[in-house]
Every structure is written in structure tokens, then in C-alpha cells.
């Protein structure tokens, strides 16, 4: 899919010089393919990481990112600057991810590799870091979809509760409640993981 997008939109610069994200959206609304490719490059990695934690199916991630960016291309003219571009794009990705999860009836697992640690680490440190990453990943998988999304947007994408509420289309208090319950559950799961390692 990524190859198809690249073939369709050609080899443009990473970002039109000096263009902010809202300016890119305005250019995209006018049919500017270079601006679209620049925005695509900005968001592909961020959306892939978000969706990996949300849908837990590596095979679907690129497809959902492309579906998200297709909506951005088609609906750029509807962006009204009432929120950040990132909130608008992540809200689209969240809805596309929900659709994908709801259409699948079998359990899904991520095939994404754990992020590589610092190559200069001692082997014991590298193993400990990998075990911690595995424990956090397993704990996140144990959360409900809504809790996992709130945690991911908070800790991996630096979004505040208001922005998460806008992304998920729910009240801020709902986001706070989901985070409260997610933290409680993570505390229990990570404590159990630590005890297993001792």
C-alpha cells in the first residue's frame, strides 16, 4: 500500500519549506500532492505506533494508516482549526482502527518487533530492558481497547486529556476515568511481572 501511495503521489520533499501542519492541510484541501506526501511522512510512524497498540495486528496497521490518510486527503477541506491537526488526524485513525477491530472476529496479535535497545548496553542491561518492554507490552494488551488508547495517547503521543477526549469523541471525565482504571490495572499487572522476574 505504501508503495502505491508513493507511486501515486511521487517523490516530493519531506515538507514544503516553512509550512506548518495547518498550512499543509490547507494546501491538501486545494489538491496539493506534495503537501499531502509531506503530511503523510510526518504522520506515518506516529500513527503506526498508535495503531500497533490499539489494534494489535501488524498486518492491518499499514492498511489503516493508508485509510486514515485517504480520509485526510478527501476531507482536508472540512478541517476548521478548532483543534490541532494531530488531534484531527488521530481522531480519524482512532475511528478507522475501531472499524478494523470491529470487522475482525478472531484474536489479533502484533508482529512488530520490540524497539531495539542501546547497542552499547551491557548484555544484562539489554535483557532487563527487553523484559521490561515485554512486560509493559503484555500489560497494555491486557487493558480494554478504550483504556489502551488513553494510555497510548497520553504516554506515547504526549496528548492531554482534553485532546484525547476530542480524539476519542467522549467527555474529558470519561478519559480521566479510563486512565484511572488503566493505571490501577497496570500497577497490578506490572507488579506481577516484576515478581515473576525475581
Tally of domains within the chain: 2
Q: Specify whether 53 is located in the same domain as 105.
A: yes
Q: Is the pTM of this model over 0.75?
A: no
Angle, helix 172-197 to helix 123-142, in steps of 10 degrees: 140
Between 47-61, 73-87, 157-171, the lowest mean confidence (pLDDT) is in 47-61
Q: Specify whether 171 is located in the same domain as 97.
A: no
Q: What is the grid cell recorded at 80?
A: 476548521
Q: Specify whether 48 is located in the same domain as 92.
A: yes
Q: Specify whether 4 is located in the same domain as 78.
A: yes
Give the model confidence (pLDDT) of 76-100 as tens digits. 999 998 899 999 999 999 999 888 8
Give the model confidence (pLDDT) of 123-164 as tens digits. 666 666 676 677 777 888 888 889 989 988 988 888 899 999
Looking at per-residue pLDDT, the higher value among 160 and 10 belongs to: 160
Give the chain's radius of gyration (CA, Å): 18
CATH of residue 162: 1.10.10.10
| Degrees to nearest 5, angle at CA 160 with 155 and 161 | 110
Q: What is the grid cell recorded at 146?
A: 478504550
Amino acid at each position: 500500500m505504501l508503495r502505491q501511495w508513493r507511486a501515486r503521489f511521487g517523490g516530493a520533499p519531506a515538507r514544503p519549506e516553512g509550512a506548518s501542519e495547518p498550512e499543509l492541510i490547507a494546501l491538501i484541501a486545494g489538491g496539493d500532492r506534495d503537501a499531502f506526501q509531506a503530511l503523510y511522512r510526518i504522520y506515518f510512524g506516529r500513527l503506526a505506533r498508535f495503531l500497533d497498540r490499539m489494534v494489535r495486528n501488524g498486518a492491518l496497521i499499514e492498511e489503516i494508516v493508508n485509510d486514515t490518510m485517504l480520509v485526510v486527503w478527501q476531507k482536508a477541506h472540512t478541517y476548521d482549526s478548532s483543534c490541532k491537526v494531530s488531534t484531527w488526524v488521530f481522531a480519524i485513525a482512532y475511528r478507522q482502527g475501531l472499524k478494523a477491530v470491529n470487522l475482525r472476529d478472531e484474536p489479533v496479535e502484533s508482529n512488530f518487533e520490540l524497539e531495539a535497545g542501546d547497542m552499547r548496553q551491557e548484555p544484562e542491561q539489554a535483557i532487563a530492558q527487553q523484559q521490561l518492554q515485554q512486560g509493559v507490552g503484555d500489560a497494555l494488551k491486557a487493558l480494554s481497547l478504550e483504556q489502551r488508547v488513553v494510555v497510548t495517547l497520553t504516554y506515547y503521543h504526549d496528548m492531554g486529556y482534553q485532546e484525547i477526549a476530542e480524539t476519542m469523541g467522549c467527555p474529558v471525565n470519561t478519559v480521566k476515568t479510563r486512565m484511572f482504571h488503566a493505571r490501577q490495572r497496570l500497577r497490578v499487572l506490572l507488579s506481577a511481572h516484576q515478581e515473576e522476574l525475581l
